[in-house]
C-alpha cells in the first residue's frame, strides 16, 4: 500500500521507529539509531505531534554522537518546536539529547549542566529511569563527582523517608 493510503499508521510507526532508535543508541549503535530516527522523523505529520520529541530528539542525539552537529542542532530545534506537552514522558529522550548536542558543539560545561538539569526534571516527573540515564550522561561527560553528589542527595532523601516510614511501622 502506498504511504499516502495508510491514514493513522504513520504516526504510530514513527513512534515505533523512535523507540528502536532509542534502543539502538542505548546499545551503542549510533549509526542504527540515526537510521531509525530518520525513518521515524520522516513519518511524522507536519506541525506539533505526538512522538516528535522522541523521533527528533533521538535524531539529534544520534547525529551529535556521530559528529553531525548541523543535523543535531536542526533536529533539536525541530523537536523543541514540535513536541506536545501531553507527550512529555514519552518524548523525554529529547531532554537527554540537549547535553549531547552541547557536547558535540564543544560546550562541556553546558552539557554537564544540561545532563544534571535533565536528571532534576526527570526526578520531578518521577521518571526514575530517565533520571538514571541523565546522571549517567553527566558521568560520561566528565562530571562523576557532581553526578555522585546528586545520587547521594537523592538516596539520602529516600532513605530518610524510608526510615521514617519504618519508624512509624515499628511504633506501638
Residue 97 lies in a domain: no
Domain boundary among 58, 88, 118: 88
Angle at 116 between CA 38 and CA 110, to 5 degrees: 70
pLDDT at res. 129? 87
Residues 84, 154 within the same domain: no
Residues 143, 79 within the same domain: no
pLDDT digits 0-9 by tens, 90-122: 889 999 999 999 999 999 999 999 999 999 999
Instruction: Place 5 in a pLDDT band, splitting at 50, 70 and 90.
Output: very low
How many Å is the maximal CA-CA distance in the chain? 70
> Which residues have a Cβ under 8 Å from the Cβ of 41 and sit 6 or more positions away?
14, 55, 56, 59, 75, 78
Domain boundary among 43, 60, 88: 88
Residue 98 lies in a domain: no
pLDDT at res. 89? 86
- Flag whether pLDDT at 168 surpasses 50: no
pTM attached to this predicted model: 0.83
pLDDT digits 0-9 by tens, 116-165: 999 999 999 989 889 889 988 998 999 888 777 766 666 656 555 545 44
Which whole number is the average pLDDT over 80-87?
90
- Flag whether pLDDT at 2 surpasses 60: no
- Range of the structural domain that residue 20 is part of: 1-88
CA dihedral over 98, 101, 105, 108, signed as positive or negative:
positive
Residues 74, 1 within the same domain: yes
pLDDT digits 0-9 by tens, 33-75: 999 999 999 999 999 999 999 999 999 999 999 999 999 999 9
pLDDT at res. 32? 98
Residue 70 lies in a domain: yes
Residues 74, 138 within the same domain: no
pLDDT digits 0-9 by tens, 71-81: 999 999 999 99
Residues 28, 80 within the same domain: yes
Residues 20, 65 within the same domain: yes
Identify which of 110, 25, 94 has the alpha carbon closest to the alpha carbon of residue 66: 25
Amino acid at each position: 500500500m502506498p504511504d499516502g493510503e495508510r491514514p493513522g499508521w504513520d504516526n504510530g510507526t514513527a513512534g515505533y521507529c523512535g523507540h528502536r532508535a532509542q534502543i539502538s543508541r542505548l546499545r551503542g549503535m549510533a549509526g542504527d539509531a540515526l537510521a531509525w530516527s530518520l525513518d521515524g522523523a520522516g513519518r511524522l505529520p507536519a506541525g506539533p505531534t505526538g512522538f516528535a520529541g522522541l523521533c527528533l530528539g533521538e535524531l539529534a542525539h544520534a547525529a551529535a554522537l556521530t559528529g553531525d552537529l548541523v543535523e543535531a542542532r536542526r533536529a533539536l530545534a525541530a523537536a523543541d518546536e514540535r513536541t506536545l506537552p501531553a507527550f512529555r514522558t514519552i518524548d523525554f529522550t529529547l531532554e537527554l539529547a540537549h547535553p549531547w548536542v552541547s557536547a558535540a558543539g564543544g560546550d562541556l560545561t553546558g552539557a554537564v549542566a544540561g545532563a544534571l538539569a535533565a536528571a532534576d526534571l526527570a526526578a520531578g516527573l518521577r521518571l526514575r529511569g530517565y533520571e538514571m540515564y541523565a546522571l549517567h550522561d553527566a558521568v560520561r561527560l566528565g562530571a562523576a563527582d557532581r553526578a555522585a553528589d546528586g545520587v547521594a542527595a537523592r538516596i539520602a532523601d529516600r532513605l530518610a523517608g524510608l526510615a521514617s516510614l519504618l519508624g512509624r511501622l515499628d511504633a506501638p
